[in-house]
Amino acid sequence: MAKIFVTRQLPGQALEALAQEHDVQIFPEPRPITEKELYEGIKDAEVLISLLTDRIDSKAIQAGPNLKIIANYAVGYNNIDVDWATAFDIAVLNTPGVLTDASADLAFGLLLAAARRIPEGDRFIRKGQWKGWDPSLLLGPHVSGKTLGILGMGRIGQAVAKRAIGFGMKLLYSNQRQLPAGIERELGAEFVTVNDLLTQSDFVSLHCPLTPETKHLINRKSLAQMKPGAILINTARGAVVDEDALVETLQSGHLFAAGLDVYEDEPNVHPGLLAHPQVVLAPHLGSATQETRNEMASLLVRGIQALFKNKVPNNLINPEIIK
Ligand code: DGY
């Protein structure tokens, strides 16, 4: 029986199943755990189930001398020092695949909401400002047939591309590696440089992980390269975008709008983004469907159980720890 510490109650039944075989302790508060509480929780735990808001750096890893597995309830794992975990032979798990559709749906929802000004329309009606149909009311750019640039063409980027096909959009993408020709053909997507993607797209949607290389990939210079009137969608990680630069570019009128699910300093949102009527804000909801959140927990539990049986789960980020 292993001691498993979980930093938040998770949706679904997966943790209950785990608790039938192991000593599962769940941090009881519905708020992010503090550093002190985390260190206390993992001081004798073999497994940590963490959230993307938990900073699992070298200090945290050293606070858990018995840790064998860190299972992160997210596909992104920029909150974990994976090199450090690997150096201590700790397996790191994440939740790829199961949140692809939910995340792509949200990205496309933000794109439509920002272009067609749906939240502004909602606020307009609720404030009692609607006086009747008006030929010039809340006009936005057409979506169908426009060019969508996808920056980061992994699972979620490709799922966004599939949705865009239904809107007859022209697809450009940038990625570390070019996709196999068959997938490019299926998606009708053209591999271009980041510069070409920025200068040619009407909509730019970000789907790359946050790494030292992608931090502030979208900065003052890249925002200036975007087409006048373009729309930026970010459902990846906040720090991929320099928010000060984004606010300036929006205020200058160079970009028409932005649709954001992630922020540089969550849960704090830049006041300039809060103040801008054409910025659509979501509170990091990419994977927030009941089915997806249940499946994310089940995937982590299956991964933990596999590792306990000396099997290698597909969602192991650092397979090099397996000797
Ligand atoms: C993830 O899993 O990395 C997403 O950001 C969750 O919405």
The verdict on whether omega for the bond into residue 267 sits within 30 degrees of 0, i.e. cis, is: yes
Q: Across the chain, what does the average pLDDT equal?
A: 98
- Which of the following is catalytic: 284, 293, 295, 302? 284
- The tens digit of pLDDT for each residue in 13-23 reads 999 999 999 99
Please give the torsion angle defined by the CA atoms of residues 286, 291, 296 and 298, in that order, rounded to the nearest 10 degrees.
180
* Fold for the domain defined by 100-281: Rossmann fold (3.40.50)
Q: Has residue 285 got a pLDDT over 90?
A: yes
Distance from CA of residue 196 to its chain's centroid? 24
Q: Is 237 a catalytic residue?
A: yes
Closest residue by Cα to atom 4, ligand 1, is 74
Cα of 283 vs centre of ligand 1, distance in Å, is 11
Percentage of the residues of the chain whose pLDDT score is greater than 70: 100
Q: Which of 118, 51, 85 is nearest to 296 (CA)?
A: 51
Position 155 scores a pLDDT of 98
- CB of 64 within 8 A of CB of 43? yes
Q: According to the model, what pLDDT value does residue 172 have?
A: 99
* 168 pLDDT more than 80: yes
Which atom of ligand 1 has the smallest separation from the CA of 236? Answer: 5
Q: Which atom of ligand 1 is nearest to the CA of 74?
A: 2
pLDDT for the residue 110: 99
pLDDT at 313 over 90: yes
Pocket test for ligand 1, best of 49, 50, 52 (most atoms within 8 A of CB): 52
Give the pLDDT of residue 147. 99
Mean pLDDT over residues 72-98, rounded?
98
Q: Could you give the C-alpha distances from 240 to 20, 86, 172, 254, 262, in angstroms and in order?
A: 41, 25, 19, 19, 9
Active-site residue, 284 included: yes
Q: Look at residue 118 and tell me whether its pLDDT is greater than 90.
A: yes
- Please tell me the predicted confidence (pLDDT) of residue 75: 98
Mean pLDDT of all residues in 277-287:
98
Distance 107 CA to ligand 1 centre (A): 12
pLDDT at residue 77 greater than cutoff 90: yes
Can 3-98+290-317 and 100-281 be said to share one CATH topology?
Answer: yes
Nearest of 49, 2, 56 to residue 26 by alpha carbon: 49
The residue contributing the CA closest to ligand 1 atom 3 is 76
Q: Report how far residue 60's alpha carbon sits from residue 50's, in angstroms, rounded to the nearest whole number.
A: 12
Query: Residues 13-62: pLDDT tens digits?
Result: 999 999 999 999 999 999 999 999 999 999 999 999 999 999 999 999 99
- Tell me: pLDDT of 323 over 90: no
Pocket of ligand 1 from Cβ distances under 6 Å: 52, 74-76, 99, 284, 286-287
Q: Which fold has domain 3-98+290-317?
A: Rossmann fold (3.40.50)
Task: Locate the domains of the chain by residue range.
Answer: 3-98+290-317, 100-281
- Quote the ligand 1 centre to 280 CA distance (angstroms): 18
Of all atoms in ligand 1, which is nearest to the CA of residue 284? 7
Active site residue 266: yes
> Which listed residue (237, 270, 276, 293) is catalytic?
237
Give tens-digit pLDDT for 178-218.
Answer: 999 999 999 999 999 999 999 999 999 999 999 999 999 99
Index of the ligand 1 atom closest to the CA of residue 285: 7
Q: How confident is the model at residue 123 (pLDDT cuts 50, 70, 90)?
A: very high
Q: Show Cβ contacts of residue 92 under 8 Å, excluding neighbours closer than 6 positions.
A: 69, 70, 71, 72, 77, 80, 82, 85, 86, 316, 317, 318
- In tens, the pLDDT along 138-165 reads 999 999 999 999 999 999 999 999 999 9
Nearest Cα neighbor of 286 from 78, 112, 123, 76 is: 76
Running DSSP on this structure, what letter comes out for residue 208? P
